[in-house]
Amino acid sequence: MNKLFPFLAAAAAAATLGLAATASAQTWPDKPVTMVVPFPPGGSTDSIARALGPKLSEKFGQTFVVDNKAGATGTIGAGAVKRAPADGYTFLVTSLGPLVIAPHLFKSVPYDALKDFDLVTVAVQAPNVLVVPAASPHKSVADVVAFQKAHPGKMTFGSSGNGSSDHLTVELFWQQSGTSGSHIPYKGGAPAISDLLGGQVDASFQNVNAVLQHIKAGKLKALAVTGDKRAAVLPDVPTMAEAGVRNVEVYSWQAVVGPKGLPADVRGKFHAAVVEALNDPAVKQQFTAIGLEVVGNTPEQFGAFQASEFARWKKVIETGRITAD
């Protein structure tokens, strides 16, 4: 009997842990849940979190708090979530930057983007759009390519910062079209768009949702979108491939992840709720009206997508010799 006691004790402990995990999933969430946004309030990622929060609170009867932890291209907030307990009470709502771009720009980041998070879902995506001021002489992508070939390095492209989606899109555009221009980084999308509207820079690849109002108002000309199909909100604007430059399919995207080791049932419960919230008619309309496409894929699909994006941007950054400095 004494020889059997350790085995019986171990079995009892395992059963207790299993019951605890089940109880945890059944009662989750029984306190407020924090959704960390690694950027300042007011941007696209922040707006996604704030649209999801009320729907999740309504479903679960608990508060879902948005906590902005900005800095270092999103890596400070991502690092904080990596270090948080994997109990389902802390999640990260982020752009692609911390997950597939920043690890290639900095010598070190406070997490392993491919190993330290449990992926939940890609929430939304949107193509970028090549825009020029209304008074620009360039009326097509062909005009831009011809000008850059005739005047290498002269045409200026504004972006929201080194290593941003809009910066990397122009680098990819140069690599695929065999041209070169001058990159002008700003501290955020708003000042970059402001100078573009004022004609201080010649062009920019901006997220569709960030410049749609200026395109519709006639203040900016849209020359091409970087999606694999035309954007529903800009049906008359060709894709980059249609405009003659292939392999510049780029989407900016926002996603939800948690610390590694989330209870499987909790992650499944949260995933289902996030996808349901994304597809709520009011929320979906709010997103699609500004050019965002709801994705809401599975963790497995997200994992394959992240690995592909990680490898792709690594190649673009290394080829362009891009740094975060």
Quick check: helix, strand or coil at residue 183? strand
96/251 Cα distance (integer angstroms): 9
The pLDDT of residue 23 is 45
Compute the chain's Rg from CA coordinates: 22
What is the band of 100 on the pLDDT scale with cuts at 50, 70, 90? very high
Provide the 8-state DSSP code for 74.
G
Range list for CATH 3.40.190.150 in the chain? 30-125+252-320
Containing 148, the helix (H) or strand (E) segment is helix 141-150
Range list for CATH 3.40.190.10 in the chain? 127-225
What is the band of 40 on the pLDDT scale with cuts at 50, 70, 90? confident
CATH of domain 30-125+252-320: 3.40.190.150
Pick the CATH number of 127-225 from 3.40.190.10, 3.40.640.10, 3.30.1330.40, 3.40.50.1820: 3.40.190.10
Lookup: tokens for 301: 């699909």
Q: What is the pTM of this model?
A: 0.86
Beta strands at 117-133 and 220-225: parallel, antiparallel or unpaired: antiparallel
81/75 Cα distance (integer angstroms): 10
Provide the 8-state DSSP code for 187.
S
Quick check: helix, strand or coil at residue 316? helix
Cα within 13 Å of Cα(72), Cβ side: 16
Q: What is the mean pLDDT of residues 16-42?
A: 77
| Closest C-alpha among 273, 280, 198 to residue 28 | 273
What's the whole-number average pLDDT of the chain?
92
